[in-house]
Structure 1
Amino acid sequence: MKTQFSVPTREQVAPANQAIFDNLQKAIGFVPNLYATIAYSDNGLGRFIAYQNAKTSLTNKEKEAVNLVVSQVNECVYCQSAHLVLGKMNGFTDEQLLDIRKGKSENAKLNALVKLAADITKNRGKADGDLVDDFFAQGYTNENLVDTILLISDKTAMNYLHNLTQVPVDFPLAPAL
């Protein structure tokens, strides 16, 4: 097995990916290493970013909570690190982010979402019926459930990519729990 993956540079990727690199550079000031790694696939980066940026019924805070708890369950330090930064940008405090990493929230609605997302991830798509019931009791809908599962799949793909490639983390490193 290849034990180390290098992060491709702009010059090493397909022209379509070079344009995406340029857009990322303009939008956020750098090309995250994990996105650059997806660019080994001539079509993967554009396809993945479109999937990641698709409209959803979840709020940005809810999305970040799911992204963070899924990354925690999947033991992906890269995505934990990235989503701690993004979580703060979306209004979470350090304490709230720590709680989410531990699979809980003081907010009852967010707690139901975080617990269900963690359970779905741990059990590969199966979930405790009580957690599903609580999710719906907190006001979530079938649309929210579908969007949560799609978000879990997006984040799981990124988690798996980093867990396999171990490319350098280019965000402030998430502390171990």
Structure 2
Amino acid sequence: MSRLNVPPPEEVPADSQRILDSVGAQFGFVPNMFATLASNPTVLEVVMTLQGALSRVLDARTRHTIALAVSQANGCGYCLAMHTHVATKFGGMSGEDVELGRAGSSVDPKRAAVARFAQRVVESRGQVSDAELAAVRGAGYTDPQILAIVTVAVQVQLTNFINNLNQTDIDIPAVSAAGTPG
């Protein structure tokens, strides 16, 4: 059961309601994470603005892979379920690639390097080794892209921390320990 209060619909601040309406149109429902964030319009706006801005960096599958790798590293069941749902339903990723993303890999060698690097960024709190930085560069990523990888990883970590603290009720198909839907 979630530990933070979700405002009832009639108590959602107007600024939050506008954002929730947009989220609902995108997903077909308002996921519990966003409903929880609605109690603080500024926090909801920050999360949504950050997600929107970061949708312009890297390709969608790479961002999904980072989200899966980071959410696994942080043990966030809610985010694993959400990112699995989004990656498969909207991102065209296979169940195998989702599972590999969680494990810090991918069917694509370049994305596998990103997944490993993103996990190391989180696990080391940004203090990656020269060899780890060289590996992601060796996979073909430029320094501006590496900045984007780190920023996406931190954005995912933000929602991981919120959902881990809240113990957000999973309102989308949960994932098994192996990372497959259900």
TM-score (normalizing by structure 1): 0.92
- Within 5 Å, which residues of 2 pair with 1:94-113? 94-113=95-114
Which residue of structure 2 aligns with residue 4 of structure 1? 3
- What is the CA distance between 1:44 and its match in structure 2? 1.3
The answer to whether the 8 A contact 1:112-1:134 is kept is: yes
Cα distance in structure 1, aligned partners of 2:28 and 2:9: 14
The answer to whether the 8 A contact 1:71-1:80 is kept is: yes
The answer to whether the 8 A contact 2:6-2:38 is kept is: no
Cα distance in structure 1, aligned partners of 2:33 and 2:24: 14
Which residue of structure 2 aligns with residue 49 of structure 1? 48
Which residue of structure 2 aligns with residue 134 of structure 1? 135
Which residue of structure 2 aligns with residue 85 of structure 1? 85
Cα distance in structure 2, aligned partners of 1:98 and 1:23: 29
Matched, 1:67 2:96: no
- Structure 2 gaps of 5+ residues are none
Cα distance in structure 1, aligned partners of 2:47 and 2:38: 10
- What is the CA distance between 1:28 and its match in structure 2? 1.9
Spell out, residue by residue over 1:35-80, the C-alpha distance to the aligned partner (whole angstroms, 9 max, x if none): 1111221311112101111053310000000001100000000000
Cα distance in structure 2, aligned partners of 1:130 and 1:40: 43
Letter of the aligned partner of 1:108 in structure 2? P
Which stretch shifts more, 138-147 or 37-46?
37-46
Residues paired across the two proteins, number: 175
Cα distance in structure 1, aligned partners of 2:133 and 2:57: 17
Cα distance in structure 1, aligned partners of 2:143 and 2:154: 17
Cα distance in structure 2, aligned partners of 1:8 and 1:87: 28
Cα distance in structure 2, aligned partners of 1:25 and 1:83: 16
Which residue of structure 2 aligns with residue 156 of structure 1? 157
Regions of 4+ moved over 6 Å: none
Tell me, what secondary structure is at the counterpart of 1:53?
helix
Query: What is the percentage of aligned positions where both structures have the same residue?
Result: 27
Tell me, what secondary structure is at the counterpart of 2:85?
helix
Cα distance in structure 2, aligned partners of 1:28 and 1:70: 22
Cα distance in structure 1, aligned partners of 2:14 and 2:77: 30
